[in-house]
Amino acid sequence: MELTTVWFIIIAFLWTSYFFLEGFDFGVGMLLPVLGRSDVERRVVINTIGPVWDANEVWFIVAGAAMFAAFPEWYATLFSGFYLPLLAILLALIIRGVAFEYRGKRDDARWRSRWDKAIFWGSLVPAFLWGVAFANIVRGVPLDADHEYAGTLTDLFTPYALLGGLTTMVLFVLHGAVFLALKTSGDIRARARFVASVAAVAAIAAGGSFLLITQLDHGKPVTWLTAGGAAIGLAVAAVANRRGREGWAFIGTGAAIVLAVATLFTSLFPDVMPSTLDAAGTLTTGNASSTPYTLTIMTWVAAVFTPIVMIYQGWTYWVFRKRIGTSHIPARAPRKSERAR
């Protein structure tokens, strides 16, 4: 197998891991105002991802770095042509990260409310725009013979791309709701299961439509299996959630995300960014890659460090595997004015 193909698979794996892990982070953030009816409940919701959300974002950084090193032409064209949507994603992620850290710095309801809104929008915007971006990557964008983006911002928001954004958004809401049902107890768990049952219907409708269109327009024979597997994963998640089997429901949503991303990348290969203007402008694993020497060095580095990162992150999830509820949230210390009374 050629190293260009190996690194296409590695990059697909990195993006798949990012969407699987950060997907429920985004879902939890979007569900914060829905499931957190008091400050204590919102603290429970946030604490379910508190120990892991920043580590989950590392997969995005690594995926982007791998694209830059292995396929610099792909990286340059993608990040220049999709500049404004990717900038919006980056700003949303920064604001969300700041919100997690600053929310509890002041014992003021209005202060916390503002940061809660930042967490909500900082989760919703990337959840939607990532779907828009990857739908465009698979469908193709106007690239000239020099591999330069020749379209406008509005060209990125076609009906197909908007459906892709809606698919990732509702799929991450479902993934997050199932994760919350798996990680919490009491009323939050019950409400999360109800939200998951509603989100499952939306995810099946939007995701099924998007994958069917993708398969008919861009798919290959093998992607019927991955697309069908994603649909089965959603069905398993819906049934398991109704029966209170949160573990199986989470496996179902996780499988749906993994197989949906596999469908997109398999449909794309060997291209990395098709051109809708001129076939000469299409970027492939061959004309967008680095030198064989660079790919060889990268392969050895990835072989050594990727297992270490996966083991460490798996250990983190094991340590923080238990459920939490409102009884685990300590009361806030009274303010100075209250202590003086």
Q: Is residue 239 part of a domain?
A: no
Q: How many domains does the chain have?
A: 1
- The whole-number pLDDT of residue 332 equals 62
Q: What is the pLDDT of residues 132-183, one digit of tens each?
A: 999 999 999 999 888 888 888 889 999 999 999 999 999 999 999 999 999 9
pLDDT band for position 119 (50/70/90)? very high
In a domain, 295, yes or no: yes
For β-strands 271-273 and 283-284, DSSP reports them as antiparallel
The pLDDT value recorded for residue 339 is: 40
Does residue 303 belong to any structural domain of this protein? Answer: yes
Per-residue confidence (pLDDT) for residue 295, from 0 to 100: 92
In a domain, 312, yes or no: yes
Q: Cα 42 to chain center, whole Å?
A: 22
Tell me which residue range forms the domain holding 300: 3-175+268-326
Domain assignment present for residue 208? The answer is no
Residue 341 has pLDDT above 50, yes or no: no
Q: Tell me what pLDDT residue 333 has.
A: 53
* 131 or 336, higher pLDDT: 131
Using a 10 angstrom Cβ sphere, with 0-12 exposed, 13-18 middle and 19 or more buried, the burial of residue 146 is exposed
Per-residue confidence (pLDDT) for residue 151, from 0 to 100: 85
Is residue 242 assigned to a domain? no
Q: Which tokens sit at 176?
A: 């997050």
> Across residues 181-200, what is the average pLDDT?
94
Residue 46 has pLDDT above 70, yes or no: yes
Of 125, 126, 136, the C-alpha closest to 159 is 136
Sign (positive/negative) of CA torsion 104, 106, 107, 113?
negative
Name 271's bridge partners: 284
Residue 1 has pLDDT above 80, yes or no: no
- Return d(Cα 127, Cα 110) in angstroms, integer: 26
Question: pLDDT-based confidence at 281, cuts 50/70/90?
Answer: confident
Q: Would residue 77 count as lying in a domain?
A: yes
| Averaged pLDDT of the chain | 91
205 within domain boundaries: no
pLDDT, one tens digit per residue, over 59-100 is: 999 999 999 999 999 999 998 889 999 999 999 999 999 999
Higher pLDDT, 313 or 161: 161
